[in-house]
């Protein structure tokens, strides 16, 4: 979408969020499934998302609630390539925390309105996890998808790399989404997210995070809205989660 005056408040809020979060401590990013949503050449995309969750009782937060927020600005280098900046923050145990900033690049291959398409999302940043040293982190999410009439299925067999701490090395973090378009403005769907652990030593299912979401995507008052209600399917997962995202259109 071209930059407009209606986008300026959201852009300013995102930049303010970024200036606050950069020196702070770490909080996890808000995980979503990546499809063929992309800004066209010369367009600026402004997005914001929030997630409320009840953490796993067996985790470090011992069942306490967590709030996460993220602001994102993207720019269309072409109709297939985007670059952007993503700045997440977290509130847990009564204090605000951030985990630096991610630079991102996205590619979606040319494709028709129906059938198979592919692409990739790459994110990298300097991350400071709580109680750990600042480290370089890299995330790569292939996009493999198929759209048929009202149905849309997306798979992101993602890999993640951390340079420091217990998470040092490469890990497998796949996610997928199946959605059904009710009409031109509304779609419902299911998502599933897995943190499988590091390659060569995958975590047993009972000790890893797996979350299923029921999703609703809509266009309301000219804005793209996404709402997802999630539930952890293992003892080490968040017990429940509510995720809300908005893309600011003209």
Number of C-beta neighbours around residue 177 at 10 A: 23
Query: Which CATH number applies to 5-247?
Result: 2.40.160.40
Predicted local distance difference test score (pLDDT) of residue 240: 93
The Cα 14–Cα 92 span in angstroms is: 20
The Cα 226–Cα 246 span in angstroms is: 6
Instruction: Give the number of residues written for the chain.
Output: 250
State the 10-residue block means of pLDDT for the chain, 250 residues long: 45 43 44 93 93 76 79 95 90 70 94 97 77 76 97 97 80 97 96 93 88 96 92 90 87
Which pair of structure tokens corresponds to residue 5? 């005056």
- Residue ranges of domains in the chain: 5-247
Predicted local distance difference test score (pLDDT) of residue 5: 42
The Cα 99–Cα 223 span in angstroms is: 28
SS (H, E, C) the chain: CCCCHHHHHHHHHHHHHHHHHCCCCCCCCCCCCCCCCCCCCCCEEEEEEEEEEECCCCCCCCCCEEEEEEEEEEEECCCCEEEEEEEEEEEECCEEEECCEEEEEEEECCCCCCEEEEEEEEEEEEEECCCCCEEEEEEEEEEEEEEECCEEEEEEEEEEEECCCCCCEEEEEEEEEEEEECCCCEEEEEEEEECCEECCCCCCHHHCCEEEEEEEEEEECCEEEEEEEEEECCCCCCCEEEEEEEECCC
Predicted local distance difference test score (pLDDT) of residue 249: 65
């Amino acid at each position: 979408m071209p930059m407009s005056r209606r986008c300026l408040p959201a852009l300013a809020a995102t930049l303010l969020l970024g200036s606050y979060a950069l020196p702070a401590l770490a909080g996890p990013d808000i995980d979503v499934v990546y499809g063929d949503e992309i800004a066209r050449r010369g367009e600026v995309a402004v997005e914001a998302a929030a997630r409320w969750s009840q953490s796993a009782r067996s985790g470090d937060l011992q069942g306490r609630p967590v709030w996460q927020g993220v602001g994102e600005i993207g720019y269309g280098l072409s109709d297939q390539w985007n670059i952007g900046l993503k700045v997440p923050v977290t509130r847990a145990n009564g204090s605000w925390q951030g985990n630096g900033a991610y630079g991102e690049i996205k590619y979606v291959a040319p494709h028709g309105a129906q059938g198979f398409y592919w692409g990739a999302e790459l994110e990298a940043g300097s991350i400071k996890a709580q109680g750990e040293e600042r480290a370089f982190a890299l995330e790569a999410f292939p996009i493999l998808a198929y759209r048929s009439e009202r149905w849309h299925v997306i798979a992101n067999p993602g890999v993640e790399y951390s340079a420091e701490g217990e998470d040092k090395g490469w890990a497998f973090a796949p996610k997928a989404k199946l959605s059904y378009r009710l009409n031109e403005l509304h779609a419902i769907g299911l998502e599933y997210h897995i943190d499988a652990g590091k390659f060569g030593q995958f975590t047993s299912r009972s000790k890893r995070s797996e979350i299923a979401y029921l999703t609703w995507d809509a266009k309301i008052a000219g804005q793209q809205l996404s709402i997802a209600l999630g539930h952890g399917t293992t003892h080490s997962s968040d017990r429940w989660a509510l995720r809300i995202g908005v893309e600011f259109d003209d």
